[in-house]
Amino acid sequence: MEWYWILLIVLAGLFGLALLLTLGISIGLIHYLSYPKHYEAAYCNESDVKKGLIQDQSIFKREPLNLTMRDGYVIHGDYIPAENSKGLIIFTHGYTWCREGDLKYVEMTLPLGYDAYIYDDRGHGENKRVASTMGYKESKDLQEIISYFRKKRGEDAIIGLLGESMGAATTLEVLKYKEKIAFVMEDSGYSSLKTELEFQLRKWPILQKLLPLCDLFLRLAHGYSMRGVDALLAEKDYHGPLLIMHGEADTFVSPECAKKIAAGHDGYHEIHFYPGCDHTLAPGILNKEYTADLQAFLKKIEPSLK
């Protein structure tokens, strides 16, 4: 066999190997993203207690309330009433965790007279194991939950939102559905899925170049694209009060996302950064400061909600 044929075969083999490697890594990244590690409720609760995130669980009078979405998927949740209720806050937890992670926030808002609804995100907690879509389908679920409580409580009822991490992105993403929302509070949310994945892969620039291919696999396997999760685009028509909270030392979601979200909101908003705090740990590390900021925000906007 002539030398050039041997060279051609070797080059073709290397190209095929590189292609298979590229496809394999891309599919692996999408699988890792879509099927996060699962944690049971007991573990989440005990972990947050040990971290000092939950102080007093005796104040929670939890009433199971599961809701069935239009596609038949069942969302497991709990309704927690407050004394002398003035409104409702719907809480959305973060990636891999479950609704137990919302209790630290409920502990801050319940004494102010806000009922709470906490629930497990699609594919998380007690829910059936399905792919996580990082806020795309999750925002549709949240929209249906808001609609359920709007019908139950009336058009004039105060309904606010609070989300953490992926739940914060979901909470911002739901704004595109133009439900009547009194206020929004978000902790450590990413401004877009593309921005978040670029940040996650910042130490491996070569993997960042695979994101367009990953986006194609997201479309084929799970029916959405990175462009379908864009908080900056979703929030543009929301002009109500917005509270933005983010740890300055966040290594999971860039603090720059908080600045972008604030810049994209033309209504009343506050932004608070917490020094020395990694991803979503500010409620524990700087509990007094964090709680004071959150409660002050709610007290400040209350006159405008009536």
Angle between helices 211-222 and 3-34 (to 10 degrees): 60
* Whole-prediction pTM: 0.93
CA separation for the pair 30, 134 (Å, rounded): 11
Q: What is the pLDDT of residue 172?
A: 97
Q: What is the mean pLDDT of residues 13-23?
A: 65
Q: Answer yes or no: do 217 and 242 share one domain.
A: no
Q: What is the CATH number of the domain that holds 68?
A: 3.40.50.1820
Region of 125 (left: φ > 0; alpha: ψ -120 to 50; beta: rest) is left
Q: Answer yes or no: do 6 and 119 share one domain.
A: no
Q: How many beta carbons lie within 10 A of that of residue 8, not counting itself?
A: 11
Q: What is the pLDDT of residue 7?
A: 61
Q: Could you give the number of structural domains in the chain? A: 2
Q: What is the mean pLDDT of residues 67-88?
A: 96
Q: Answer yes or no: do 296 and 186 share one domain.
A: yes
Q: Answer yes or no: do 6 and 78 share one domain.
A: no
Residues whose CB is less than 8 angstroms from the CB of residue 127 and which lie 6 or more positions away in sequence, other chains included = 73, 74, 75, 76, 120, 121
Q: Give the end of a domain, one of 205, 224, 243.
A: 224
Q: Which domain holds residue 208?
A: 1-34+197-224
Q: Answer yes or no: do 218 and 240 share one domain.
A: no
pLDDT band for position 23 (cuts 50, 70, 90): confident
CA separation for the pair 73, 1 (Å, rounded): 61
Q: Answer yes or no: do 92 and 207 share one domain.
A: no
pLDDT band for position 29 (cuts 50, 70, 90): confident
Q: Answer yes or no: do 13 and 60 share one domain.
A: no
- b/e map of 112-141 (b: 16 or more CB within 10 Å)? eebbbbbbbbbbbbbbeeebbbbbbbbbbb
What confidence tens digit (pLDDT) does each residue in 179-211 have?
Answer: 999 999 999 999 999 999 999 999 999 889 989
CA separation for the pair 77, 118 (Å, rounded): 5
Q: Answer yes or no: do 3 and 42 share one domain.
A: no
Q: What is the pLDDT of residue 207?
A: 87
The answer to whether 125 and 66 have CB atoms below 8 angstroms apart is no
